[in-house]
Amino acid sequence: MIWNDDILFIHAPKTAGMSMTTMLTEGLEGKVYVTGHETTETRGDLTLIPGKRHETLAQAVDVLKSYGRSLSDFKAIFSVMREPYRLEISRYNYLRLNHPWDQGHAQTIALESDFKGYLRDSPFFGYSPPRLDLFYHIDNTIPENAIFLKHEFLNQDIVDHVLPFLKPGVKLPRENVTGDSVYEKYYDDEAEELCYRRHRWFFDKGFYRRRKRRAEEESIVQLAGESVIRSKVVPLLRRRWRLFRFRMGNGQPRDLENQH
């Protein structure tokens, strides 16, 4: 987590947090505090302090107390939110790089299992099932000054919400978006359901739509459209065809519906 007098940044895992950290430590005005270090170290206006780096919102409250701050003191609390489908693809492939500093149960599962096995069994930063939602609320209450930046539109959201708090000329993070073609490679209905169960808060609260439900809705719309065509357009064409045959034929309209 990072803060200065005006803003607090909650570093949720796998949401471009390191890029955000670089931007904020270089761009924030005044004294800046950053957790995630073994000892306290001051470098000019930057103070590095012990902590997890990935403090949940409730854990951030405890850290801030020792500095005489509370969540409501800040003009804005920023965190980045990422579509769970893309987040899990990214984390699965990252763990499979087999970095020695990532050794643990989650990495072992990613190395030894297919993607569905990973979704079924892998913990997420100590939580099984994952509780990534804890970085965005406390007891299901979202602070009034919280602003969630979407990973999928990160630079634009930074310009719209964060830039007013930064020094001029700050370099924005490089966007890295997993495309829909990659989604199709990893997800079928079973994998989609597993991902939903791991991150249901983000879907149930409306931050992201389920892909499965979206496909079902599109199918319903398509069927509804076909029904309209059958009920309105086809009878109209039949009536016009009968009139055409009547004028061009022997003067007697033909019942096309009963022809075989």
Domain boundaries, the chain: 2-208, 213-258
For 173-190, what is the mean pLDDT? 79
The span from the CA of 1 to the CA of 56, in Å, is 9
**What are the C-alpha distances in Å from 185 to residues 91, 130, 177, 217?**
15, 23, 15, 22
Burial status of residue 169 (CB atoms within 10 A of its CB: 0-12, 13-18, 19 or more): exposed
Token pair for residue 82?
Answer: 């990422």
Q: What is the pLDDT of residue 254?
A: 40
What sign does the dihedral 192-195-200-204 (CA atoms) show? negative
* Residue 78 predicted with pLDDT over 90: yes
Q: How high does pLDDT run on average in the chain?
A: 87
Instruction: Give me the phi and psi of 62, to 5 degrees please.
Output: -65, -40
Spatial distance between the Cα atoms of 113 and 238, rounded to a whole number of angstroms: 58
Quick: pLDDT tens for 27-47: 999 999 999 998 999 999 999
Confidence of residue 252 (pLDDT cuts 50, 70, 90): very low
Strand order across the 146-150 sheet:
41-43, 46-50, 32-37, 2-3, 7-10, 76-81, 146-150
If pLDDT is split at 50, 70 and 90, which confidence band does 253 have? very low
Weakest mean pLDDT among 48-52, 100-104, 215-219, 227-231: 215-219
Kindly state the average pLDDT of the residues 119-129: 92
Residue 37 backbone phi and psi in degrees, to 5: -120, 155
Q: What is the pLDDT of residue 238?
A: 72
Residue 121: per-residue pLDDT: 96
The answer to whether the beta carbons of residues 31 and 65 sit under 8 Å apart is no
The H or E element that residue 118 is part of is: helix 115-121
